[in-house]
A and B are shown apart, each in its own frame.
Chain A
Amino acid sequence: MFHRSVSALRLGRLLACLSLLVCYHGIAQDNVAPVPKSLRVTHILGLQGLKENTNGTLTIQAQTLRFQPHDGIAAEIKVSSIQEVALGVQDKEVGGMPMAIGRVATPYEGGRVIALFAHKKYDIVTVKYRDSDGGFHGAIFQLNKGEAQVLKSELQAGGVPVIEGEKPAEKTKQAGQS
């Protein structure tokens, strides 16, 4: 009898502790602001004062889209100034210039075989925005495949219209032709 009451007491304490822990976790989540997701991206072009093809991280924090290059000063775009964000896909060669040179230098046309495996699809994010003077800007970022969806959901939450681009037809289309 005594043994059973002790085990019940232990179980009760354990349950109380667990419920406290769950409650505390909930309170802690309510008080702390959500940690902004940072994405590793490549700035293709468009941001003022930054070189083309710069690697860095992209975050959305306090209604600001912030690109922090690995070395150098960060560039910021206010979410309220963004007019539109477009998502697309491009295939690009991995390894950059050294890979391209190595591919060309490979004998017996071996570079062509390497090229088959040296390409990867990337998400391309185009941000259209206006500066304080009303001037139109466009910035293009390259993300790993699938990561653009993370950015899309965060921007949509901020009220930015996001359009998912279709892959353009692979043949020439003349203006004015039907």
Chain B
Amino acid sequence: MKASKKSSSIVIVPATLLILASWPSQLFAGKHPAVAKWELQVDTVESGDVNIGPDFKVAIYENLLKELARTKRYESVFRDGDRNANGVHNLLILKTTVESYTAGSEEKRAVTSLAGATRLKVLSKLSTQDGQVVLERSVSGNVRFFGGNLRATHNLAHNVAKAIEQSTLPVVPVSASEKATDPADR
């Protein structure tokens, strides 16, 4: 009798553990919902009055998209003008304006080690759809020794992503459909 009890427990316990391991999300979905994330739209770079080449503006924009997607802090990162971002309730918008730019020279850097640095400084403004500013900061990216001039845009985008990552984002708003379907969870 004892032996049969023991053998049944040997079977039941691992089976239960297996079931729990294979469907954890389904079992606990109602009690512990996944943490809601913001979605992000990166707007094209504004040059303002600064004389900067279109290649630099495009490189800043593309590197920002790459670096911000790499942080995995957002549900998705949309491009400027992407129709999929229309109607998204938890959307943050990143606007970038070039504040200053010093065109460098890779040759000067290699020959002198002192002159020829490429310097970029932008104003990054992260805001919600209703205009609430979440983050507004001047960020710079430079190339002083090694690498091409466009490497400054990569360094800049990395610094912008880091600044946004360190900032505290507001609580993700609940959409109208979520309010209607699940009022008890709030």
- Assembly CA distance A134 to B83 (angstroms): 6
| Chain B residues in 8 Å Cβ range of A165 | 53-55
Q: Which of B83-134 contact A (CB under 8 A)?
A: 83-84, 97-103, 105-107, 110-112, 119
In the complex, are the beta carbons of B110 and A103 less than 8 A apart? yes
Q: A92-B148, A135-B81, A135-B82 are in contact. Are A86 and B55 (CB under 8 A)?
A: yes
In the complex, are the beta carbons of B63 and A175 less than 8 A apart? no
In the complex, are the beta carbons of A115 and B110 less than 8 A apart? yes
- Assembly CA distance A119 to B102 (angstroms): 20
Across the interface, A100 reaches (CB within 8 A) one of B63, B79, B107, B146, namely B146
Chain A CB count within 10 A is highest, among B58, B61, B148, for B58
In the complex, are the beta carbons of A86 and B53 less than 8 A apart? yes
Nearest CB on B from A158, distance (A) = 19
Q: Verify if B52 is at the interface (C-beta below 8 Å from A).
A: yes
- Size of the chain B interface, CB-CB below 8 angstroms: 40
Nearest CB on B from A75, distance (A) = 14
Question: Which of the segments B17-25, B42-50, B168-176, B178-186 contacts the partner chain?
Answer: B42-50
Q: Which of A33-57 contact B (CB under 8 A)?
A: 44-46
Convert A118-131 into 0s and 1s, putting 1 for each residue whose CB lies closer than 8 angstroms to a CB of B: 11000010101011
Question: Which of the segments A7-15, A16-24, A136-144 contacts the partner chain?
Answer: A136-144
Q: Verify if A145 is at the interface (C-beta below 8 Å from B).
A: no
In the complex, are the beta carbons of A176 and B82 less than 8 A apart? no
In the complex, are the beta carbons of B81 and A91 less than 8 A apart? no
Across the interface, B80 reaches (CB within 8 A) one of A100, A124, A136, A166, namely A136
| Chain A residues in 8 Å Cβ range of B107 | 91, 93, 115-116, 119
Convert B53-66 into 0s and 1s, putting 1 for each residue whose CB lies closer than 8 angstroms to a CB of A: 11101110111000
Q: Verify if A170 is at the interface (C-beta below 8 Å from B).
A: yes
- Assembly CA distance A165 to B63 (angstroms): 21
Q: A90-B148, A116-B111 are in contact. Are A173 and B100 (CB under 8 A)?
A: yes
Q: A86-B55, A168-B52, A169-B51 are in contact. Are A134 and B81 (CB under 8 A)?
A: yes
Chain B binding surface SS class: mixed
| Chain A residues in 8 Å Cβ range of B55 | 86, 88, 90, 124, 126, 140, 165
In the complex, are the beta carbons of B106 and A119 less than 8 A apart? yes
In the complex, are the beta carbons of B49 and A177 less than 8 A apart? yes
Q: A88-B53, A135-B79, A140-B59 are in contact. Are A174 and B100 (CB under 8 A)?
A: yes
In the complex, are the beta carbons of B50 and A173 less than 8 A apart? yes
Q: Verify if B155 is at the interface (C-beta below 8 Å from A).
A: no
A-B contact pairs, 18 of them (CB 8 A): A45-B150, A88-B54, A91-B106, A93-B106, A135-B79, A135-B80, A137-B62, A138-B61, A140-B55, A165-B54, A166-B51, A167-B103, A171-B102, A172-B102, A173-B100, A175-B50, A175-B99, A177-B49
Kindly list 4 other residue pairs between chains A and B, CB separation below 8 angstroms, not including A90-B150, A119-B110, A168-B52: A138-B58, A138-B62, A175-B50, A175-B98
Interface residue ranges, A against B (CB under 8 Å) = 44-46, 84, 86, 88, 90-93, 100, 103, 111-112, 115-116, 118-119, 124, 126, 128, 130-131, 133-140, 163, 165-177
